[in-house]
Every structure is written in C-alpha cells, then in structure tokens.
Amino acid sequence: MLTIDLTNKVIVVTGGGTGLGRVMTEHFIRCGAQVVICGRRETVLRETAQALGPAVHAYSCDVREWESVDNLLSRVVKDLGRLDAIVNNAAGNFLAASETLSSRAFRAVVDIVLMGTFHMSRWAGAYWIENRQPGHILNIVTTYTDTGCAFVLPSASAKAGVQALTLSLAYEWAPYGIRVNAIAPGPFPTEGAWSRLMPGRDFEEQYKKRLPTQRYGRPEELGALAAFLLSDLAPYLTGAIIPIDGAERLQGAMFNYLAQITDRDTLKAAFAALKAATRKE
Ligand code: HXC
Ligand code: NAP
C-alpha cells in the first residue's frame, strides 16, 4: 500500500489556525509531521493547537514583517531542531469595486499575500542553501492567477505575483534540492473566505449551480493533495501550479456553456440536426 509519510518533518503553515491551513495541518500530523502554525491572533492559534494535539505548535507571527518572520523561523529551528517545509497559506481578501479601493486597502492584501510569501520563502531558502539540505515551499494561490478577477483586484494581483515567485524560485533553487509548488484552489467554504466573499445564501446556491461538479470543494481534498506534495512521493514535482477546483476555471472555454443543458437527449438532437443540415449532398 502506498502511504504518505511525513514522519519527523517540521512543516510551518502560515494561517494554520483557521480554514484550509488548519485542515492541511490536520493532514500533515496524521502523516507523522510536527507542524508549526502561525498567524496574528494568538487565541485562535492556541485553540487550534489544543484541539489538534501535541504535534501542533502555535507561534504568533505577522508575515507582513520581515523581523517577525525572522524571529519565527529562528525559533522554529532552535526549538524543533529542523525545518523541512513552508506552506504559504496566509491571505487576505475582500470584495470591492476597484475604483473605490484606497491605497491602504490594496496594500493590506498585497502585504499579506505577496510580501508574506516572499519573507517566508527568502528566509527558508537561504537557510536550506546555507545548510546544504533540501526543502519544500508550497504556496496557496487561486485559480484566477492567469485570468485576473473582477472585484478582488488586490488578491488577483498579489496571487499572480505569488505564482510568478513560485515558478521563478522553482527553477533557481532546483539545483539545491528545493522544490517550489503551488496549489490553486477553487471555491472551498471556509469561515474566513465565505464571510468576506459570499454576499448571501442565495448567491451561494446560485454559484454552486454554476459549478460543473455542482458542489464546492471539501477541505480534506485539498489537505490530502498538500500532504502528497510535501512527501517523498513527489521528488520530481517542482514548478507546478496545481488547480483543485472541480474544473470550474474552464467555464470560459467557448462551447462549455452547452454542458449547462443537462438533458443529454436535447443536446444530441440539436447536434444531429446540425449534422443533417451541414451534410454534403
Ligand atoms: C474595501 C477595505 C475592506 C473592504 C478593509 N479595507 N476591508 N476596503 N472593502 N471589505 C481597507 C480599510 O478601509 C483600510 O483602508 C485598509 O483596507 C486596511 O484595513 P484594516 O482593517 O486596517 O486591514 P487589516 O487589519 O490589515 O486586515 C486585512 C484584511 C482583513 C485583508 C482587510 O480582511 C484580514 O485580516 N483578512 C485575513 C483573512 C482573510 O481575508 N481571509 C480570506 C482569504 S480567502 P483605509 O484607506 O480605509 O485606511 C481567499 C479566497 C480567494 O483569499 C478565492 C476564493 C474563491
Ligand atoms: P482563512 O481561514 O481566512 O485563512 C487566512 C489565514 O491567514 C488566517 O488564519 C489568518 O490568521 C492568516 N493571516 C492573515 N494575515 C496574516 C498575517 N499578516 N500574518 C500571518 N497570518 C495571517 O481563509 P481560507 O479560506 O482558509 O484561505 C486559506 C488560503 O486558501 C488563502 O491563501 C486563500 O487565498 C486560499 N484560497 C482559499 C479559497 C477558498 O475558497 N476558501 C479559494 C482560493 C484560495 P490571522 O487573521 O490570525 O492572522
């Protein structure tokens, strides 16, 4: 049987106290890892660490600040004796008409998402290179990094930057045995995301009907993918941006709208009529 083994690995998950970060943490410890969760709110982190058990270590850190990241990762190495992987999951996002955004509002998201990911990756990469040991950076982006996205301009801009950082570092640090990948989730209902991005229950139902799978992602599905990526089962996998979205991102492809006609016989009849009409004499 193939098993995901993360025994003795020390993994740092930013924003690990809530949502998808917490679920990834649960998966990592089930595979044997020690996980450091960090974020700004100490009570949230403490509650999560208590709920998940002794393999989870709560450290407060604000990823926007280099000093805070330097302090966190120095302490992790000192307290736990090693550092194997970083999961850059911390993020900020909200819905807004772009013409109303203040400079501080744009910066609030970019600082967490892009600067935070840079700070963590910069520290860990230098540490692994100096100590001649392999490492892994896993970034959590979104499916709109290639297309952009209306009403979430700061997030779309920052996540596109994180995607570029992922691809750049994957190549630059490959000779040192450092893998750099990203997961691009579609919609996963979490308190943090839904409270800021779902304008109401009706909207949530309407949105779901639009999804080709007719359902939202389940956090444990993302947790399993993250655990696999960090494991020794994927040593050649680097520089990858992996969507997990039930194919939602493909909606714009020209004829995909036809899939919304769920009665197959209606579709087949329409295609047959076209064929008959275009057949050569
Ligand atoms: C417009 C807003 C705003 C909003 C804040 N601001 N919220 N502007 N619409 N909803 C503006 C403020 O007015 C202020 O500008 C500036 O942003 C900074 O605000 P603060 O409240 O001081 O910011 P801060 O405390 O740093 O909080 C950052 C945050 C907050 C991003 C605004 O929401 C946060 O902490 N979020 C963390 C968790 C989170 O967002 N999770 C969702 C991730 S989900 P002025 O000019 O007035 O001073 C995700 C999913 C993607 O990313 C894809 C889904 C399918
Ligand atoms: P979430 O629960 O709100 O997670 C965000 C986390 O980031 C929180 O734990 C928050 O903790 C932390 N954080 C924010 N600012 C920070 C800072 N300055 N320093 C350290 N930590 C900080 O939302 P989620 O849905 O689980 O999102 C997790 C990741 O998935 C994000 O990268 C998000 O963009 C991505 N994603 C989610 C979805 C979805 O549908 N849920 C879709 C696509 C991508 P504190 O506030 O305590 O600091």
Write the pLDDT tens digit of every residue in 157-204.
Answer: 999 999 999 999 999 999 999 999 999 999 999 999 999 999 888 989
pLDDT of residue 29: 98
Name all residues whose Cβ lies below 6 A of ligand 1: 91-94, 96, 102, 104-105, 108-109, 142, 155, 187, 192-193, 196-197
179: in domain = yes
Mean model confidence pLDDT for the chain:
97
Residue 201: what pLDDT? 87
pLDDT at 262: 87
Q: State how far the Cα of 78 lies from the Cα of 82, in Å rounded to an integer.
A: 8
Q: Tokens in use for 192?
A: 């943090």
> CATH code at 185?
3.40.50.720
Asked whether residue 39 is domain-assigned, the answer is: yes
Q: Indicate which atom in ligand 1 lies nearest the CA of residue 93.
A: 40
**5 within a domain of the structure (yes/no):** no
Domain range enclosing 184:
10-280
**Catalytic (active site) residue 216:** no
> 273 falls in which pLDDT band (50, 70, 90)?
very high
pTM greater than 0.85 (yes/no): yes
Confidence class for position 281, pLDDT limits 50, 70, 90: low
Q: Tokens representing 254?
A: 């020209």
How far apart (Å, rounded) are the C-alpha atoms in residues 74 and 55?
Answer: 19
In a domain, 233, yes or no: yes
Which amino acid is residue 2, in one-letter code? L
Mean pLDDT of 138-166: 98
Please report whether residue 3 resides in a domain: no
Residue 204 lies in a domain: yes
Residue 2 lies in a domain: no
The dihedral sign for the CA sequence 100, 245, 148, 183: positive
Token digits of residue 227: 């655990």
The total number of structural domains in the chain stands at 1
CA of 160 to the centre of ligand 1 (A): 18
Residue 115, Cβ neighbours under 10 Å: how many? Answer: 18
Cβ–Cβ < 8 Å for 242, 179: no
From 88, 89, 242, mutation site for ligand 2 pocket: most ligand atoms within 8 A of C-beta: 89
Mean pLDDT within 214-232: 98
Residue-level pLDDT at 278: 94
Residue nearest to atom 11 of ligand 1 (CA): 105
Residue 45 CA: which ligand 2 atom is closest?
47
Helices 153-173 and 116-130, axial angle in degrees (round to 10): 10
CA 145/CA 70 separation, integer angstroms:
28
Position 154, amino acid: P
Is residue 170 in contact with ligand 2, taking CB distance under 6 Å?
Answer: no
Type of residue numbered 109: V
pLDDT for the residue numbered 238: 98
Contact 15, 35 (CB under 8 A): no
Distance separating alpha carbons of residues 118 and 115, to the nearest angstrom = 5
Residue 82 lies in a domain: yes
Query: Is the model more confident about 36 or about 203?
Result: 36
Give the active site residue among 127, 144, 176, 207: 144
Is residue 280's pLDDT more than 80?
no
